[in-house]
């Protein structure tokens, strides 16, 4: 294992537009239910039903017992939330409608409880995720919401509207005014949908004849797009913690695509935040009941190959559909909600959310465990009445305290976080991984961790910005002990003129591993406030001995920097004493160069004329012919070819000890228009007749006005 740290131009933050000041979601406060911790008080809400599923009312404090990690706890506070009480009291609709003024709940001041008392109210937040919807799906979502408001909104219901398109927006705070709700819903236009997100990596077999044949490898982009949705949900949880009632989020979505390098920490952080804020998520797949014909839908082009006749295309469509619904199911199951899929009747999700929030009990206790260790604590609630079923969340995570930890305790904290299932998102962390073969049984897995400079609290002194971050990580085989471990402390000290706060800090490291499946987890902690971030993902290192064209990952970068490490380091990204820094986000500027590096192993050699003329020649002599590996780069936009480079031909091994041909391509980007491109790498082993066409999605932005051009040694193809 080796490591390098670099300060890079900001790219990650460009994918996550910040809300404007009026839309800024507040920070988490110390108020909010269950689970919530306000000082030392833990509050838990409990729903009690009889055998027929009806809500049980009239229970008292003495009917409940509560324990934490097996230790009995004294119930200090007891309350009943009865949403139907408002309707039973025959209060006027006008009183309810005007009860919650704008800015009263979601936009409460950070750290302050909500200014409006929502007791005995049902709080429903309709969250429209327009990032992947096509216009028809946007209209379908709005129609379903309008129908609910017009026909099923109860006097006790308060509704808020939030949307995610180019940014997260609070379009309407909680209110019961039907006229205002319908007016905001009517303002949602079908053009707000971002339309047709990229799906899984395409291939020639089973892909569409036209634009679909250029399906992009969207591993990197799906990673950030998925995280963007989950971070938006997490931001909503932060705003909702100030409301001491149970909240329900009805999440309108057309599915969430996840890739093999997705940050699993972001998903668990979103569900953990929902649990603490007492929020249940009810995902609604707005695509409804879909028909999956063998040849694809009518608006799709014909397919390549025979998959439409063998049944393979139908299986692929079912797999793709299930994959986009899997994350939605997890959000529902882990937050106490329910997911609604494969139905054109969208009213059921509203009825379920109303039913689950009709009546519940709130128990409050002070934990006897005073340790602020951040560990998960399990709860158990019992009631003295027989024949009833209790519905509550079964635990919470205790608070942490960093300031008073000594050195040994801080080290233990890192190890604990590495072993913990609770993700940390106080510091945003992204990662990318690529593999290169060292020999037949070992591969070098290059890993890059990216931290936005804005996430690190730098201290300015003597014309320098300085900070210290701790990094710990491990590589683990599924269900087995770790096979690789990382622990490092990085001191950052850069001149203030470099404006590190507006850039990214990239930490590069690597592991030597055999082929197989592995789980990677990294924890990053900045040592001023103790905030931490985590990144988890599963990676697959293929056994290239079983493939026809043996090829490494394709690494894209915008910087090559002098290498200051030890000679002979196993990192293949170091060539001629220059190191290629992977661009994890695949976002580039016009004033940069696109550097590509990849390797082909054990290319075939053509039989030379002498060996061909003598059939009795020994095999060793017959295999001494020349190799011929060709490669070129194409840029595609949909079905249009925007650029194609001249072929580069390799006739000798670049690294004979590894039997590898190394390709390094330098592509200046100033002639490319800003936009989204599919970069296709064409590789052909001419002697063997084998080929591969890996693709990557990349975004080219306009040059920074007056910005410095990159100075780095350009590699020769």
Q: Residue 7 in 3-state DSSP?
A: strand
Strand arrangement of the beta sheet that strand 3-8 belongs to: 3-8, 504-513, 442-452, 430-439
Is there a domain that residue 381 lies in? yes
Residue 242 has pLDDT above 80, yes or no: no
- Residues 229 and 122 placed together within one structural domain of the fold: yes
Four-CA torsion 181, 185, 186, 191, nearest 10 degrees: 160
HEC per residue, 186-228: HHCCHHHCCCCCCCCCCCCCCCECCHHHHCCCCHHHHHHHHHH
- Token pair, residue 208, equals 């569409």
- Residues 352 and 368 placed together within one structural domain of the fold: no
Yes or no: say if 414 and 523 are a contact pair by the CB < 8 Å rule: yes
> Measured between alpha carbons, how far is residue 157 from residues 96, 119, 152, 185, 237 in Å?
9, 11, 10, 17, 19
- The C-alpha atoms of residue 327 and residue 262 are separated, in whole angstroms, by 11
* Averaged confidence pLDDT in the chain: 77
Is there a domain that residue 552 lies in? no
Distance of CA 686 to the CA centre of its chain: 40
- Residues 353 and 373 placed together within one structural domain of the fold: no
What phi and psi, each to the nearest 5 degrees, are found at residue 390? -105, 140
- The C-alpha atoms of residue 652 and residue 307 are separated, in whole angstroms, by 39
pTM of the model: 0.54
- Residues 159 and 46 placed together within one structural domain of the fold: no
pLDDT band at 98 (very low <50, low <70, confident <90, very high): very low
Beta bridge partners of 539: 518
Please tell me which residue, 26 or 419, carries the higher pLDDT value: 419
pLDDT tens digit sequence for 606-617 = 765 444 444 444
Residue 375, domain CATH: 2.60.40
Where does a domain end: 372, 399, 426?
Answer: 399
Supply the range of the domain harboring residue 640. 561-569+594-717
Q: What 8-state DSSP symbol labels residue 530?
A: -
pLDDT of residue 622: 41
Residue 130 has pLDDT above 80, yes or no: yes
Poorest-confidence range of 155-159, 358-362, 518-522?
358-362
Q: What is the mean pLDDT of residues 10-22?
A: 31
- The C-alpha atoms of residue 444 and residue 1 are separated, in whole angstroms, by 9
Please tell me which residue, 274 or 151, carries the higher pLDDT value: 151
Is there a domain that residue 577 lies in? no
Which helix (H) or strand (E) covers residue 511, if one does?
Answer: strand 504-513
pLDDT tens digit sequence for 141-175 = 999 999 999 998 888 889 999 998 877 888 998 88
pLDDT of residue 404: 61
- Residues 42 and 19 placed together within one structural domain of the fold: no
Please tell me which residue, 126 or 375, carries the higher pLDDT value: 126
Distance of CA 171 to the CA centre of its chain: 24
- Residues 430 and 524 placed together within one structural domain of the fold: yes
CA-closest candidate to residue 452, choices 469, 433, 474, 435: 469
CA-closest candidate to residue 28, choices 181, 236, 314: 236
Q: What is the mean pLDDT of residues 582-593?
A: 92
pLDDT tens digit sequence for 653-672 = 999 999 999 999 999 999 99
- Residues 275 and 337 placed together within one structural domain of the fold: yes
Residue 534, domain CATH: 2.60.40.1470
- Residues 468 and 537 placed together within one structural domain of the fold: yes
Residue 151, domain CATH: 3.40.50.410
Q: How many domains does the chain have?
A: 4
- Residues 511 and 614 placed together within one structural domain of the fold: no
- Residues 391 and 413 placed together within one structural domain of the fold: no
Is there a domain that residue 576 lies in? no
- Residues 17 and 137 placed together within one structural domain of the fold: no
The share of the chain scoring above pLDDT 90, in percent, equals 30
- Residues 244 and 176 placed together within one structural domain of the fold: yes
Poorest-confidence range of 305-314, 469-478, 660-669?
305-314
Yes or no: say if 279 and 248 are a contact pair by the CB < 8 Å rule: yes
pLDDT band at 521 (very low <50, low <70, confident <90, very high): very high
Where does a domain end: 512, 546, 580?
Answer: 546
CA-closest candidate to residue 169, choices 188, 148, 183: 188
DSSP 287-342: T-SPP--TT--TTSPPBSTTHHHHTHHHHHHHHHHHHHHHHHHHHHHHHT---B-S
Is there a domain that residue 94 lies in? no
Is there a domain that residue 580 lies in? no
pLDDT tens digit sequence for 30-67 = 333 333 344 467 778 788 888 888 888 889 999 999 99
Is there a domain that residue 107 lies in? no
CA-closest candidate to residue 418, choices 372, 454, 448, 374: 374
CA-closest candidate to residue 360, choices 279, 277, 243, 246: 246
């Amino acid at each position: 294992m080796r490591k390098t740290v670099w300060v890079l131009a900001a790219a990650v933050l460009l994918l996550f537009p910040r809300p404007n000041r009026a839309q800024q979601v507040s920070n988490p406060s110390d108020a909010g239910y269950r689970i919530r911790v306000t000082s030392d008080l833990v509050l838990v809400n409990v729903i009690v039903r009889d055998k027929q599923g009806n809500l049980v009312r009239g229970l008292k404090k003495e009917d409940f017992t509560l324990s934490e990690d097996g230790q009995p706890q004294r119930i200090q506070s007891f309350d009943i939330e009865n949403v139907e009480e408002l309707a039973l009291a025959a209060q006027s609709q006008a009183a309810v409608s005007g009860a919650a003024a704008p800015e009263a709940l979601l936009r409460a001041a950070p750290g302050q409880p909500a200014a409006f008392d929502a007791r005995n109210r049902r709080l429903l937040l309709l969250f429209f995720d327009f990032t992947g919807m096509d216009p028809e799906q946007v209209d379908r979502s709005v129609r379903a919401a309008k129908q609910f408001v017009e026909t099923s909104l109860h006097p006790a219901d308060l509704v808020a509207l939030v949307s995610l398109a180019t940014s997260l927006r609070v379009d309407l705070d909680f209110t019961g005014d039907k006229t205002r709700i319908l007016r905001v819903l009517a303002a949602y236009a079908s053009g707000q949908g971002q339309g047709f997100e990229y799906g899984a990596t395409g291939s020639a077999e089973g892909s569409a004849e036209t634009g679909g044949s250029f399906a992009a490898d969207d591993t990197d982009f799906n990673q950030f797009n998925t995280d963007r949705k989950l971070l938006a949900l997490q931001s909503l949880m932060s705003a909702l913690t100030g409301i001491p009632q149970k909240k329900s989020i009805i999440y309108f979505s057309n599915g969430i695509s996840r890739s093999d390098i997705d940050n699993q920490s972001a998903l668990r952080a979103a569900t953990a935040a929902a649990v603490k804020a007492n929020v249940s998520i009810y995902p609604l797949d707005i695509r409804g009941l879909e028909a999956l014909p063998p040849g694809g839908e009518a608006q799709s082009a014909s397919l390549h190959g025979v998959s439409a006749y063998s049944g393979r295309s139908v299986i692929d469509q079912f797999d793709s559909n299930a994959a986009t619904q899997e994350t939605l199911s997890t959000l529902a199951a882990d937050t106490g909600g329910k997911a609604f899929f494969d139905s054109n009747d969208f009213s059921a999700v509203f009825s379920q959310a109303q039913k689950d929030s009709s009546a519940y009990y709130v128990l409050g206790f002070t934990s006897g465990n005073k340790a602020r260790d951040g560990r998960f604590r399990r709860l158990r609630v019992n009631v003295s009445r027989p024949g009833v079923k209790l519905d509550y969340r079964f635990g919470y995570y205790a608070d942490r305290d960093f300031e008073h930890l000594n050195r040994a305790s801080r080290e233990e904290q890192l190890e604990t976080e590495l072993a913990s299932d609770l993700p940390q998102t106080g510091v945003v962390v992204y990662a990318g991984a690529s593999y290169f073969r060292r020999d037949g049984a070992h591969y070098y897995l290059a890993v890059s961790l990216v931290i936005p400079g804005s996430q690190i609290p730098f201290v300015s002194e003597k014309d320098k910005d300085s900070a210290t971050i701790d990094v710990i990580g491990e590589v683990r085989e599924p269900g087995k002990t770790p096979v690789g471990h990382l622990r490092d402390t990085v001191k950052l000290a850069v001149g203030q003129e470099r404006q590190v706060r507006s850039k990214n800090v990239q930490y590069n490291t690597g592991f030597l591993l055999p082929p197989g499946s592995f789980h990677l987890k990294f924890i990053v902690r900045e040592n001023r406030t103790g905030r931490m971030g985590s990144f988890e993902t599963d990676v697959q290192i293929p056994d290239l001995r079983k493939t026809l064209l043996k090829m490494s990952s394709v690494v894209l970068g915008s910087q090559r920097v002098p290498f200051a490490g030890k000679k002979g380091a196993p990192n293949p990204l170091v060539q001629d004493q220059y190191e290629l820094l992977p661009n994890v986000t695949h976002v580039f500027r016009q004033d940069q160069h696109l550097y590509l590096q990849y390797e082909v192993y054990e290319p075939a050699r053509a039989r030379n004329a002498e060996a061909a003329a003598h059939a009795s020649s020994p095999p060793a002599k017959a295999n001494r012919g020349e190799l011929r590996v060709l490669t070129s780069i194409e840029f595609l936009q949909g079905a249009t070819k925007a650029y194609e480079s001249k072929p580069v031909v390799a006739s000798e091994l670049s690294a004979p000890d590894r039997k590898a041909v190394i390709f390094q391509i330098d592509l200046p980007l100033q002639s490319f228009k800003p936009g989204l491109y599919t970069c296709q790498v064409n590789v052909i082993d001419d002697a063997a007749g084998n080929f591969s066409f890996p693709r990557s999605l990349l975004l080219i932005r306009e040059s920074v006005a007056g910005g410095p051009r990159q100075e780095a040694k350009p590699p020769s193809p």
